[in-house]
Amino acid sequence: MAEIEKIHFRGWILEVDAAATSAAYAAARPVGPEACGCRECRNFIAARDVAYPAELKELATRLGVVPLTETETYENGPVESAQPLIRLYGGFFHFVGRILRDPGTGDSDIYFLPERSLLPDAFGAKPVVQVEFSFPVPWILEEPPEA
């Protein structure tokens, strides 16, 4: 029987099946940047440990996304007023569960949607939530980023 947990995060209330999420990602690997391998994805992989905000790492663990596995990442260029080796990345990952409460806040660096974008087949027909994020990431690779 699935163990469902309620998680409170920044005013959101999420219903989560961490074990089902973990099993789905284990069956789906590789996904996201590991499956792509382009320069921007390779940089995200190299910077992953230092790039993620601590609260998002902790949340991903509670959601069952261990090891941290993105379904998609993308690079949006240099962060304005920062050195060119800091790039703005976005992306998302999924968890098995539902949104029970949406606080209705505006723009945020972390938000939740009942979407299935690029969802790995291993999730099947289970209800999922897409965790979208955006944050600055240092450029780690020796090869330079595109201008």
Spatial CA neighbour of 117 closest among 135, 94, 101: 94
Mean pLDDT estimate for the chain: 93
Query: Are 21 and 63 within 8 A, CB to CB?
Result: yes
Sign of the torsion angle spanned by Cα atoms 92, 93, 96, 97: negative
How far apart CA 87 and CA 76 sit, in angstroms, is: 7
Measuring CA to CA, how many Å separate 27 from each of 33, 121, 123, 124?
Answer: 16, 9, 9, 11
Q: Which residues pair with 111 in a beta bridge?
A: 132
Note the pLDDT tens digit of each residue in 14-45.
Answer: 999 999 999 999 999 899 999 999 999 999 99
Q: Using one digit for the tens of pLDDT, what is the confidence trace for 62-94?
A: 999 988 999 999 999 888 766 668 999 999 999
- DSSP string spanning 66-118? -S---SEEEEEEEPTTS-TTEEEEEEEEEEEEEEEE-----S-SEEEES--TT
For tokens 């505006």, what's the residue?
106
pLDDT of residue 82: 63
Contact (Cβ atoms closer than 8 angstroms) between residue 60 and residue 7: no
What is the model's pTM? 0.92
pLDDT score of 146 = 79
Residue holding tokens 């590789």? 30
Taking the alpha carbons at both ends of the chain, their separation in whole angstroms is 51
